[in-house]
Amino acid sequence: MGVERRPEWLKVRLPAGPNFRELVGVMRTQALHTVCEEARCPNIGDCWERRTATFLILGNVCTRHCAYCAIAHGLPTEL
């Protein structure tokens, strides 16, 4: 029994464009946290290639507890 290949429209491309790589560098050097990364968003490549990101301004913890989200939840550390 052969493996059926997925149609092209269903495949997700690996994020690798120049804008994406630049934003990764900025996030690391500035120690910034984004919803995109913390929530493990599957669209991060598309958004970051368009130079769009959503920031977590109080660190990598969110005060909400959305059941569908992968962001750590709880109380943020003091400023």
Nearest Cα to 15, choosing from 54, 53, 44?
Answer: 44
CB 15 within 8 A of CB 48: yes
Mean pLDDT by 10 residues, the chain (79 residues): 84 83 94 90 90 88 85 82
Q: pTM higher than 0.85 for the full model? A: no
Q: Give the residue extent of every domain in the chain.
A: 8-73
CB 28 within 8 A of CB 34: no
The dihedral built from the CA positions of residue 66, 10, 16 and 45, taken in this order, carries a sign that is negative
Q: How far apart are CA 74 and CA 18, in angstroms?
A: 34
Nearest Cα to 71, choosing from 20, 63, 47?
Answer: 63
